[in-house]
Structure 1
Amino acid sequence: MAASPRSLWRHLSALLKAALSLGLLALILVGVDLGALWARLDVALLPAALAALGLLQVQALGAALRWRLVLAAHDRPLPYTTTWRNVLLGLFGNQAMPSTIGGDALRIWNAWRLGLPLGLATRSLVVDRVFSFLGLILLCAAGLPVLIATAGDPLVTRGLLVLVLGGLGCLAILLSLRFLPRAVASWRGVGAVVALSESTWRVLGHRRLAPPVLGLMLLPHLIDITVTWGFARALGADIPWAEMALVFPPAILVAAVPVSIAGWGLREGALVLGFGLIGQPADVALACSLFYGVSAVITGLIGGAVWSLGDRDGLASLRRGRAEAAALTDTPAPTDQSTSR
């Protein structure tokens, strides 16, 4: 059977993203003193690596709780262990699958398989991502005045402003869609994003659930900062945690642009630039980003193993999940009143 245009585009997009990631990494490596980087590697990195893996597991626990609270705001809570395993599946998909179908599609498929209506599963996961993105934008905005004052290059300053203001603008637009006139909200294609806006406001307006959700939106980014800071310290860099908190959130924001594989290349370039702004060597920035990325990959592999061990079909579920998640992305999401599988 001939491949569909959509399938061909997926494969071409994956190849382009992989080429961009490899090209950016190669460009960064050319400008880094690899000898100095090699000299920094010693056994002191092992405790930092183990601590990173432990912290990233805590991050998954927090993400599971946040998604469970979002579902509870929609009167469809799942058991905590179920949401945790769903997050682990997403980590596996984000880091360990050579496909443009990421962890979110696998998480939506799994939530649908667990009995959530496909529309609610999709919206709740996107709303959960919105809150995580809001936490990242707030951290970037908090450090923006210091970075702008430090950066001597106006191009860097404009880039930081565009990133932060653009992110805040996207969030403002999303929140404002709820107030569109009913006649406009009924237009084809508009109803879905209006429903997403309403779901976000439903969480924000919940007096009991909103505070913990807003608190948990900062947790993953604070953990990422701490993981990277731990690697920097193990590499011998005298970098205060507060300075890492200035440069790492913008690097993660840059890496979120969907033009590379899991942010590889973009994150390294942004962190090298950020380290330069605070007077830290490029080889440490590159090593920190690479070790962070490898830790995320290992965490994803652990997540896939834990999820599959708890599934009756084991590892076969991961292979079937890829195909079924792809099928879900090719078909419109049914309304919440549709029959769940």
Structure 2
Amino acid sequence: MTTLTLPAAGWRVPAWVVRLLAGATVLAVVAWHVGTGPALASVRGLDARSMGAAAAIAVLTTACCAWRWTLVARAVGLDLRWRTALAAYYRSQFLNLTLPGGVVGDLHRGLHHGRAAGDVGRALRAVLLERTAGQAVQLAVTVAAVALLPSPVRPPAPVSAALIVLVALVLGTAVVLARRRPPAGPARWARIVRAVSSALRDAVLARPIWPAVALASVVVVAGHVLTFVIAARVVGSTAPTTQLVPLGLFVLLAMGVPATIAGWGPREGAAAWAFAAAGLTAAQGLGTAVAYGVLILVASLPGGAVALVGWMRDPHG
């Protein structure tokens, strides 16, 4: 386990504790500056229609995530049926949204699938590749949207063009390097490079696979952004959708910062700042982030049922 050593006292603090403290600090600072009123008001503003819409969107995005996972898993040589993947992905999302760290659900589905398939290492690798592919697509979509749509986080035109070119170069370089023959030799670094390159080449960048993985990832990102727009409307935002989309993508990207309390923390801080910069008030940003967090939690409740049934069948699984 990664630890942080404090030389003066000789203490060793687990990294997960540091991340939780960082997330809690962000929440405390936002609450101190904005107050808790907007967060409470946003929760009270949620109704059956908004929660039903979020749940319906989650069905589509979770189905796409499960499809993406089956594609990658089969590419690395593991059998995974879509129905099984769908239930496991719902459970994974619920665990990620309710347990500290935000990755417990992904680790659990990788371990569970690996035990069922008889190869835990390969199953965990499939989960890592699947999530990495999704994050890469989200990053590319975010950079393009922030550069092209009106947003307070939009840089000047030359910088926007440079960002798009940079992302294209990075992704292109990764594709070229992964498809090249990995370096030979017994060195540990060479073995790692061979393993990663082979996994990327065979599981993500193979010609029959990568278009489907990219398509599924784009649909997932679009679904998350649509849910964010719904949350913004719940708190009374009348900003154009073209303005909310880049704000939503920016906030969703902040959720990937490894300093959250089950997703809470950086998301609220980023939303408060971005909305204030856009002239929409920090209170509206905080309310939107909180409403979004509640919406996706409600939408993940089927995963809680899957987790409960699984625990009842196998308390030690």
TM tier, smaller: 0.7 to 0.9
Q: Give the TM-score, by structure 2 length.
A: 0.81
The 5 A counterparts of 1:170-319 are 174-175=174-175, 176-177=177-178, 179=180, 182-183=183-184, 186-309=186-309, 311=310, 314=312, 316-317=314-315
2-side partners of 1:143 and 1:33: how far apart?
A: 30
Q: Partners of 2:288 and 2:43 in 1: how far apart?
A: 11
- Quote the residue 1:90 is aligned against: 92
Partner of 1:121: 123
SS in 2 for 1:122: helix
Q: What is the match of residue 12 of structure 1?
A: 14
User: Unaligned 5+ residue runs, structure 1?
Assistant: 1-5, 322-341
- Give structure 1 regions of 4+ aligned residues with deviation exceeding 6 angstroms: 7-11, 160-170
User: Within 1, Cα distance between the matches of 2:193 and 2:245?
Assistant: 32
Matches of 2:102 and 2:235, distance apart in 1: 34
**Separation of aligned partners in 2, 1:36 and 1:190:** 53
Q: CA RMSD in A?
A: 3.5
What is the aligned partner in structure 1 of residue 74 from structure 2? 72
Shift of 1:238: 0.8
Range with greater deviation from structure 2 (43-52 or 106-115): 43-52
1:69 aligned counterpart, secondary structure: helix
Aligned counterparts of 1:278 and 1:100: Cα–Cα separation in 2:
29
**C-alpha spacing 1:45/1:287, structure 2 compared with 1 (3 Å):** farther
**Contact conserved, 1:69 with 1:213, CA < 8 A, in 2?**
yes
Shift in CA distance, 20/236, structure 1 to aligned 2, threshold 3 Å = same
SS of residue in 2 equivalent to 1:76:
coil
Mapped to 2, the partners of 1:304 and 1:162 lie a distance apart of: 43
Indicate the larger mover: 264-273 or 174-183.
174-183
Q: What is the Cα deviation at residue 181 of structure 1? A: 5.1
1:27 is the counterpart of 2:29: yes
CA offset digits 1:161-219 (Å, max 9, x no partner): 999899778756754255365235x4215424532332222245544333222100112
Q: CA deviation at 1:269?
A: 1.2
Shift of 1:98: 3.9
Shift of the 225–99 alpha-carbon distance from structure 1 to 2, 3 Å rule, reads closer
**Count, aligned residues:** 308
Q: Is the 8 A contact 2:260 2:266 kept in 1?
A: yes
Conserved 8 A contact 2:97-2:297: yes
Deviation at 1:16, TM superposition (A): 2.2
Q: What is the CA-CA distance between 1:63 and the residue it aligns to? A: 0.6
Percent of aligned pairs with the same residue? Answer: 23
Would you say the 8 A contact 1:178–1:195 is kept in 2?
A: no
TM-score by length of 1: 0.76
In 2, distance between residues paired with 1:102 and 1:174? 28
Distance 1:305 1:99 in 2: 21
> Displacement of 1:28 after TM fit?
0.8
**Contact 1:45–1:231 (CA under 8 A) maintained in structure 2:** no
1:209-260 per-position Cα deviation (integer Å, ceiling 9, x unaligned): 3322210011221111111111111222112322222112222222212123
* Aligned residue identity for 1:225: V
Match runs of 1:28-67 below 5 Å: 28-32=30-34, 34-35=36-37, 45-67=47-69
Aligned-pair CA distance for 1:143:
2.0
Q: Structure 2 regions of 5+ residues with no counterpart?
A: 5-11
AA at the equivalent of 1:26: A
The CA distance in 1 between the partners of 2:154 and 2:75, in whole Å, is 46
CA separation of 1:100 and 1:163: change in aligned 2, threshold 3 A: farther
When residues 187 and 170 of structure 1 are mapped into structure 2, their CA distance, relative to the original with a 3 A threshold, is: farther
Tell me, yes or no, if the aligned pair for 2:42 and 2:288 is still in contact at 8 Å.
no
- C-alpha distance 306-161 of structure 1, shift in aligned 2 (>3 A): farther
